[in-house]
Amino acid sequence: MKVVVAPDSFKESLSAADAAMAVGTGVLDACRDASIDLCPMADGGEGTVAAMVAATGGRLLTADAFDPFGAPIRAHFGLLGSGGGAGLPGEVGLTGAIQGLGGEGGPAARRGGATAVIEMAAASGLALVPPERRDPLRTTTFGTGKLILAALNAGASHIVVGVGGSATVDGGCGCAQGLGVEFFDADGEACAPGLGGGALPAIADFDLASRDPRISQTGIRVACDVTNPLLGPNGAAAVYGPQKGATAEVVEQLEMGLKQLDGKIVKKTGLDVAELPGAGAAGGLAAGLVAFAGADLASGFEIIAEAVGLRRRMTGADLCITGEGRLDGQSASGKTVSGVAGLAAQLGVPVVCIPGQAAAGAPDGMFASVRPLVADEVTTRVAMQQPKTLLRRRAADAVRDFMRRS
């Protein structure tokens, strides 16, 4: 029996790689001769770098950057390998080694050149800002721009930017400054580095000529885990501003700034990025990367799935097991588990989902079964303390049930 194990990370509990190992061990508990392919996944949010590095035999690097308030920090990014991964640490008896960009790998492998993967949250993320300091009028993506330059310095000619978990609503202007783009106020004076959301209305013009020349030679893809536009009731400010510390009044101020910025972009470049699906991701960073760096937007899941060769690896499988921290209404909107289920349906492969928790109204119809860790006698606290043990147990039960029904 061939089983593909393709979970996302379990936030604040397990990385995708650790979750895959726990599930794979559970599969072997139920079927010792199973052929298992561990394929840790992500969708552009937390865990994207770790999943893609693990799946391609790449390596993690660190670089000097800046946090959302402009303070110096060290932040990590990944440089992907050109072949299959070396397997997961401590792997015993699992016949499916991690595979990825080798052979039929992602587009970067076919076009040539190194691929780097960045999580904007590593430099500009909400987790870097204590709740009492969250202020999208001040926070900036400047550090993310510096991480992109670090990836170029490491030899990357293709860059994937995961944009989940941001602390910012700056329309990507801070990131653009990090790449060398200059912004000017109405008096023609250069704006100070580290533009935040509150400074957007002051922008009168910008100049791409000062941008690092390597940007125009680099393929940048933005891995979006949401489809929100830049503006409006479903846009960057309205939907995600409050999560980042914005009051209703501040949301209006941010919306006005983003709208004015969009107008400047249209006038200067002819691009209207406001309605692009995903443009509102990371407080408009996705829109800014399109406008200021020539990036393409795509589903985070689709980018990672292509990079790790998930379709090829799932073809001919008897069963797929996926999972995430919480299965809820948002899971059906571009998240890893729904992406895995959709691809598996095309290939005729049944999917079991093992989430940490399953909320009422979760989209369970896309799976053969859903087996949350939090169930019966298992509380949320216990699940957070013993995720590996419970994942192993749930996976073993799922495989035994699958073999009985087959």
Q: What is the DSSP string of 166-226?
A: B---STTHHHHHHTT-EEE-TTSPBPPSS--GGGGGG--EEEGGGS-GGGGGSEEEEEES-
The domain boundary, picked from 271, 301, 331, lies at 301
pLDDT > 80? residue 108: no
Give the pLDDT score at 189: 97
Whether residue 256 is found in the same domain as residue 377: no
pLDDT > 60? residue 207: yes
pLDDT > 50? residue 89: no
* 2/96 Cα distance (integer angstroms): 9
What does the pLDDT average to over 208-231? 94
Least confident of 177-181, 194-198, 199-203, 329-333: 329-333
pLDDT > 60? residue 148: yes
Residue 38 phi/psi, 5° resolution? -85, 120
Domain presence at residue 30: yes
**How sure is the predictor about 226, in pLDDT bands with cuts at 50, 70 and 90?**
confident
Q: Are 43 and 304 in contact (CB under 8 A)?
A: yes
What does the pLDDT average to over 178-192? 97
Domain presence at residue 312: no
Of 84 and 152, more confident? 152
Whether residue 67 is found in the same domain as residue 181: yes
Q: Are 78 and 58 in contact (CB under 8 A)?
A: yes
Give the pLDDT score at 88: 39
Q: How many CA atoms lie within 13 A of 64 on its CB side?
A: 3
Domain presence at residue 20: yes
In terms of residue numbers, what domain contains 229?
48-301
The chain-wide mean pLDDT, for the chain, equals 90
**How sure is the predictor about 214, in pLDDT bands with cuts at 50, 70 and 90?**
very high
Q: Which two tokens stand for residue 349?
A: 């492969």
Sign of CA dihedral 145, 290, 104, 323: positive
Percent of the chain whose predicted confidence (pLDDT) is above 90: 78
pLDDT > 50? residue 159: yes
Whether residue 224 is found in the same domain as residue 345: no
Whether residue 75 is found in the same domain as residue 21: no
Whether residue 28 is found in the same domain as residue 58: no
Number of domains the chain contains: 2
Whether residue 182 is found in the same domain as residue 225: yes
Least confident of 214-228, 243-257, 274-288, 323-337: 323-337
Domain of residue 159, CATH code: 3.90.1510.10
Domain presence at residue 18: yes
- Run of H or E including 128: none
pLDDT > 90? residue 47: no
The pTM (predicted TM-score) of the whole model is 0.83
Domain presence at residue 213: yes
pLDDT > 90? residue 102: no
Domain presence at residue 130: yes
Whether residue 296 is found in the same domain as residue 323: no
Residue 93 Rama label (left phi>0; alpha psi -120 to 50; beta): left
The domain boundary, picked from 301, 336, 366, lies at 301
Q: Give the tens place of pLDDT for each residue, 361-392.
A: 888 899 999 999 999 899 999 999 999 999 99
Give the pLDDT score at 280: 96
Give the pLDDT score at 112: 56
Domain presence at residue 373: yes
